[in-house]
Structure 1
Amino acid sequence: MSKRKAPNGKCRFCKRPIQQLNRVGRRREYCSLACRRSAQRERGKGLEAKKETTSTLPLGRSVTEDLQLLVARLLSAEYEGKSLEVRLRLASEVSREVEHYMSAAVHEEHVRGASWEQVAAAASVSPATARTRWAPREVERRLSRRAADRAAARQLEATLPAARLPVDEQALTESTARAGSKLAAALSFLHRESGLTIKEAAAQIGGGLSAPYVSRILSGERLPTWEVTQELVTACGGDPREVSLLWEHAQGMAPPVRHPLNDAVDRLHAALRGLHLAAARPSSDHIADASDGLLAPADVTAVLSGRMVPTWTMTGALVKALGGWPADVRPLWEAVEYGFLVRLDPGDLAQTPCLPLRLPDPALGTDPDLPES
């Protein structure tokens, strides 16, 4: 908007006539305080959009990070059996963000000097189609619109915090953030225990990762792929299975709750050992003290070693003592309970032991004493 004074005594925002009350001093440019604030919001929205489109972070990478979250929500909706309407809406958002990524990626490569012939070959289209589809003005218009939409969404979230996300998506986002923090803590602890320098750890990871990037993984600034996570944990002398559930949750993946019983038991134990690792492996006595008397040291040892399937009360107390969030682990425990119940013979239910269930020591090479199918 022009900074000139309102022509003909009209409000710069709503264009309605303004009655100038004084003949001296600065002329009124807005008819009301509401119009002044609305104009300020419009200017702020434009600055926010411009800031986002000129970010120092590669735009393609920024779009990809948002795309990852959308795909995680779609996967969660599929696991949870959401309605077709919800899944198609999420799929539509994914498709739209893929188009944004393609525009950003082509634009960045073109700025680096790639010819339209090279872009066309990479996209399997003709050079004429590439020029039309990803012309600089068209890409700028598309990405500016995306930035403005995101800025408006953030403004709405700021004024309506309770309506940021549907309840299930809000919970998923919070769980993802917690798991990402725990994953970083677990990886950082393993690295410290290994005695390796960051440069030495990076050298053992395929793909040529730099030491600064590995440092950002350990600090929680970057979420690694599963392949990188496995290699980093192995290089530091750990067991990737202990962080697999943390990684899945950090990615926003909601695992199916109906695993075979033995698998469900293994996943629950792995999740608990992952939290134990993220807490820097405190002793069983320390955990028992932190549980306010709900756990005995022997029970803590039995659960973490895989020799006991705990009750939910014990599981929740253990998770809280380890600094975790019981709601994040509840689906894993319910999967165990479900698998345990469906494998029982109804006629023998009264004679079958219930949770907590003690299992043989895995070191003896015997199978868990679970109900037979």
Structure 2
Amino acid sequence: MTSGPPSRCASCRLPLRPPSSPAPQQRSSPCCTCARPSGPEPEAPSPQARYQEHILDIAEDLLRQAADLHEDAFNDGSTADLLRYKPVLQRLLDDLDAAVVGRGRAMGERSKDLAVHLALSPETLRKKLTPEKIDRRLADRTRPAPMPRASRSGQQSEEERIATRSNRRRLAAALSYMQRASKRPQNRLAQDLNTSPSYISRMMSGERPASWVHVRQLAEACGYDPELLRPLCNAALGSPVPSDVDALAYLKRFLKALRMSVGQPSDETLMQDTGHCLTRETIKAAFEGPHLPSWATTRRLAAVLSCPEEDVRPLWRAAKSAVSPRTEKPDEDDPRYSTIPADAMG
């Protein structure tokens, strides 16, 4: 008596093989190797690790929203533009409460100890954040979308938006230079700023705008004076030259930050890049001297530092206007203040 065609696996269509050596009085069924991968079963992530992933995502969303809020506030955003962050931030904070409490319980912490940090009674915490409510909230959580660019850009023209993006890249390059010069790895800087290495990486690549808070923290962690980067940070955020600062010092800090953004070239390199139109003494005075460099000098330096003159001209004019009336004030392209060596004039 012949048996019919062998049964086949619905997945791989291979013949099912009978189980080997079944135990007595134990019913077995044909099986297929495709249905059960070889090797040990992969371990499921622990509840603590699962909550930790949610906490990291929420922290990243909070950082992004806070940076956008800071940018809008810096650009004199409207009341409506600023207040619309409130429900988004509140929802993120509520998500954070749920994820942290869930992780705490998974670690064996008592509700009594968790409730203290939320200014709640243990009974209220147990009712408000039951394990079921926490898991449901985190499962339904959606990451907030960025605010519409049109409403956040205000009255900026397309040219101004392009300039803002260019200054953002220069700021990112300056931050990257500081990080390399300090020899501090990005993961160590992330620990110093209490954020993720990916956030540091995106900030240094110019992928996302860097708020002044994080620029200051990064500069301090790398051993630099944060004020050195303030002009470039303001330019990256599209902010005008502040009216309550020393405009001449502000211009010189901007030039120094530009120099860092292109790798801190030496005076000799800058002389060569300007075709020896600027002397070593003129270059040193432009960055470190007490006087305002002429517009011809400033323009040439900006050009070799990869900054168009329209980005540096407002800073130079603000510094020129701030010079004391008792001090000679150089005018744009005034031949009396030419920095071209005499032998170059023929």
Q: Would you say same fold, with TM above 0.5?
A: yes
Q: In 2, distance between residues paired with 1:335 and 1:353? A: 12
Q: Deviations over 1:217-261 (max 9, x none)?
A: 699269645244224225xxxx554344445556x383652135x
Q: Deviations over 1:281-328 (max 9, x none)?
A: 323343244346765554322202224413445323312311235455
Change (3 A) 1:330 1:226: same
**Residue identity opposite 2:99 in structure 1:** E
1:80-91 equivalences under 5 Å are 86-91=77-82
Q: In 2, distance between residues paired with 1:304 and 1:206? A: 31
Change (3 A) 1:57 1:327: farther
TM-superposed CA distance for 1:355, in Å, is 4.2
CA RMSD after TM alignment: 4.7
TM-score (norm 1): 0.54
| Residue 354 in structure 1 maps to residue 330 in structure 2 | yes
Change (3 A) 1:354 1:173: closer
Match of 1:257 in 2: 242
Change (3 A) 1:109 1:325: farther
Could you tell which deviates more after superposition, 270-279 or 176-185? 176-185
CA contact (8 A) 1:70 1:90 kept: no
Match of 1:122 in 2: 117
Q: In 1, distance between residues paired with 2:198 and 2:56? A: 19
Q: How many residues align?
A: 265
Change (3 A) 1:307 1:284: farther
Match of 2:319 in 1: 336
Secondary structure at 1:112 match in 2? helix
Q: In 1, distance between residues paired with 2:164 and 2:53? A: 24
TM-score (norm 2): 0.57
Structure 2, gaps ≥5 residues long: 1-51, 337-346
Match of 2:66 in 1: 68
TM-superposed CA distance for 1:334, in Å, is 3.5
CA contact (8 A) 1:276 1:322 kept: yes
Of residues 228, 247, 272 in structure 2, which corresponds to 1:242? 228
Match of 2:303 in 1: 320
CA contact (8 A) 2:274 2:301 kept: yes
Change (3 A) 1:112 1:266: same
1:91-102 equivalences under 5 Å are 91-102=82-93
* Largest Rg, 1 or 2: 2
| Residue 304 in structure 1 maps to residue 274 in structure 2 | no
**Residue identity opposite 1:242 in structure 2:** L
Of residues 265, 269, 292 in structure 1, which corresponds to 2:252? 269
Greater percentage in helix: 1
Structure 1, gaps ≥5 residues long: 1-53, 79-85, 192-196, 346-350, 359-373
CA contact (8 A) 2:247 2:319 kept: yes
CA contact (8 A) 1:116 1:131 kept: no
TM-superposed CA distance for 1:113, in Å, is 2.9
Secondary structure at 1:274 match in 2? helix
